[in-house]
C-alpha cells in the first residue's frame, strides 16, 4: 500500500499540469474499500461483540470476551500447532518437489513443453474435483493407492484419512502436490531469465556443475522462492476446502486446522462474534509469520 502511494506522489510531482491522479484512483479505491476494508472493519467490530446466534439476533459490544474464550481454549492451541505443521509441511513438499522439477524442465528436450503443460493439471483442477479423486485413491475398500500403501505395510485396512495418526499428513501431501505446478512455473521463469554468460564465466573460473548451482542458480532463484513461499504459505495457512471435503477435520480433531475451526465456530456453534475474533487472530498470526519473510525478500529484490 505504502509503496503504491509513494509511486503516485512521485508521478504527480513529475507530471505537473496533468490530470490529478487521485481522480483516476478514487473510484477504484472506493470499490476496494467497499469490498475489502469495510468487511474487514465489520469483522473487527464483530470480534468485540461475542455475538451468538443461539442467544440473540443482533450483535452487542462486549469487549474482549470472544478473544478470551478462544485463547483460553486448549483446542485452539492444538489447532494452531496443527496449522503450522500443515503450512510448513505443505511448503516443504512444494519446495522439495518443485525445485528439482524446475531445474529439470529448464533443460530443453522435445517433450519439455508437453510435460510442463500436463504438470499444470493439479493447479488448474478445482479443489472439489481433486478431493473426490483423492478420496477414491485413498479409499479403504477400492482405492488403488491405499492398496499399494497397504501392500507396503504403511497403512492398515482403513483409508489413511480414517486414521487419526495419518489423516493430517495424508492431506498435507495432497495440499503440497496441488501447489507444486505454481511454484515450478514461477521458478522456471526465473531460471530462464538467468543470463547464460554467468555460467560461462563460472566455467572459466573453474566451477563445476554443483558450484555453479550453489553460486549462481540458487542465489538468483531465492527471491522468487521467497515470494512464492509467502503466497503459498498464506494460502496454506488459511486452508479450509481440501480438509473439509476429505475429513471435516477428523477423525476426532486430528486434522482440525484453524480454517476448519473458523468454519465450525460460525456454522456449527452459530457464533459470528467468536468466529470474527478467530479470524482477526488468524490475520495477526499470518502477519507475524509473514512480515519477516516479506522484508527479507523485498531487501534482496532492491
Partner 1 sequence: MKLGRTIIAVASIAALSSTLVACSGGGSSTSDKQKVTFWQFDTAKASIDAYKTAIKDFEKKNPTITVDMQIVPWADQQQKITTALASGALPDVSMLGNDVVAQYAANGALAPLDSYVAGWSKAEGIDVKKDMYAGDISYYTYKDKLYGSPVADETRMVYYNKDLFQQAGLDPNTPPATWDEMEKDAKALKSVVSVPWSAPMSKQYVTVQTFMSVYLSYGASLFDSKGKCGLDTPEFKDALTWYTGIAKQGLTSPDAVNATSDDIANLFSNGKAGMLIDGPSRYNAIKEANPDLFKNVGVAAIPAGPKGQFGFLGGWPLVMWNTSKVKDAAAKWIHYATSPDGALSQIAQTSGILPGRKSLASKAPWTDAPYDQFAKQLSKAYAYQYPAGPSPKMGEIETASIQTAVQQVASGALSVNDATKALCTDINGILAK
Interface with partner 1 (CB under 8 A): 19-20, 23, 26-27, 30-31, 34, 52-57, 139-141, 156-159, 161-164, 246-254, 264, 266-270, 272
| Smallest separation (angstroms) from partner 1 to the CB of 13 | 18
Residue 22 or 118: which CB sits closer to partner 1? 22
Check if the beta carbon of residue 160 is closer than 8 Å to that of residue 146. yes
Residue 184 or 254: which CB sits closer to partner 1? 254
Residue 182 or 266: which CB sits closer to partner 1? 266
Q: Which residue has the cell 512455473?
A: 185
Residue 125 or 248: which CB sits closer to partner 1? 248
CA separation (Å) from 101 to 44, 89, 120, 187, 240?
42, 18, 12, 9, 27
| Smallest separation (angstroms) from partner 1 to the CB of 250 | 5
Q: What is the DSSP string of 27-38?
A: HHHHHHIIIIIH
Instruction: Please state, in angstroms and rounded to a whole number, the distance separating the CA atoms of residues 274 and 282.
Output: 12
Could you tell me which residues come within 8 angstroms of residue 155 by beta carbon, excluding any fewer than 6 positions away? Answer: 146, 149, 163, 166
Q: Which residue has the cell 484512483?
A: 25
CA separation (Å) from 185 to 218, 222, 241?
16, 14, 24
Q: Which residue has the cell 566455467?
A: 203
| Smallest separation (angstroms) from partner 1 to the CB of 270 | 5
| Smallest separation (angstroms) from partner 1 to the CB of 301 | 34
Instruction: Please state, in angstroms and rounded to a whole number, the distance separating the CA atoms of residues 285 and 273.
Output: 18
Residue 2 or 142: which CB sits closer to partner 1? 142
| Smallest separation (angstroms) from partner 1 to the CB of 220 | 43
User: Strands, DSSP E only, in 31-76?
Assistant: none
| Smallest separation (angstroms) from partner 1 to the CB of 248 | 5
Residue 51 or 86: which CB sits closer to partner 1? 51
Amino acid at each position: 500500500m505504502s509503496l503504491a502511494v509513494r509511486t503516485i506522489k512521485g508521478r504527480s510531482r513529475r507530471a505537473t499540469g496533468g490530470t490529478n491522479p487521485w481522480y483516476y484512483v478514487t473510484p477504484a479505491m472506493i470499490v476496494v474499500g467497499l469490498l475489502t476494508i469495510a468487511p474487514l472493519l465489520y469483522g473487527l467490530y464483530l470480534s468485540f461483540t461475542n455475538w451468538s446466534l443461539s442467544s440473540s439476533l443482533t450483535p452487542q459490544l462486549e469487549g474482549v470476551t470472544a478473544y478470551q474464550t478462544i485463547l483460553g481454549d486448549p483446542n485452539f492451541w492444538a489447532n494452531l500447532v496443527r496449522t503450522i505443521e500443515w503450512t510448513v509441511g505443505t511448503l516443504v513438499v512444494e519446495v522439495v518437489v518443485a525445485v528439482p522439477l524446475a531445474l529439470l524442465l529448464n533443460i530443453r528436450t522435445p517433450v519439455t513443453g508437453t510435460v510442463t503443460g500436463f504438470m499444470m493439471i493439479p493447479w488448474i483442477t478445482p479443489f472439489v474435483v481433486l478431493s473426490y479423486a483423492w478420496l477414491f485413491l485413498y479409499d479403504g475398500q477400492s482405492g488403488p493407492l491405499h492398496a499399494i500403501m497397504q501392500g507396503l505395510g504403511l497403512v492398515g485396512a482403513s483409508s489413511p484419512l480414517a486414521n487419526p495418526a495419518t489423516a493430517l499428513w495424508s492431506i498435507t501431501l495432497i495440499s503440497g502436490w496441488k501447489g507444486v505446478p505454481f511454484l515450478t512455473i514461477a521458478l522456471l521463469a526465473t531460471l530462464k531469465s538467468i543470463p547464460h554468460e554467468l555460467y560461462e564465466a563460472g566455467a572459466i573460473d573453474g566451477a563445476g556443475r554443483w558450484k555453479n548451482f550453489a553460486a549462481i542458480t540458487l542465489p538468483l532463484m531465492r527471491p522468487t522462492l521467497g515470494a512464492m513461499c509467502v503466497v503459498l504459505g498464506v494460502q496454506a495457512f488459511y486452508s479450509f476446502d481440501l480438509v473439509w471435503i476429505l475429513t471435516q477435520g477428523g477423525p476426532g480433531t486430528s486434522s482440525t486446522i484453524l480454517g476448519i475451526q473458523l468454519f465450525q465456530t460460525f456454522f456449527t456453534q452459530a457464533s459470528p462474534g467468536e468466529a470474527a475474533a478467530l479470524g482477526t487472530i488468524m490475520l495477526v498470526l499470518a502477519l507475524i509469520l509473514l512480515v519477516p519473510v516479506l522484508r527479507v525478500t523485498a531487501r534482496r529484490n532492491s
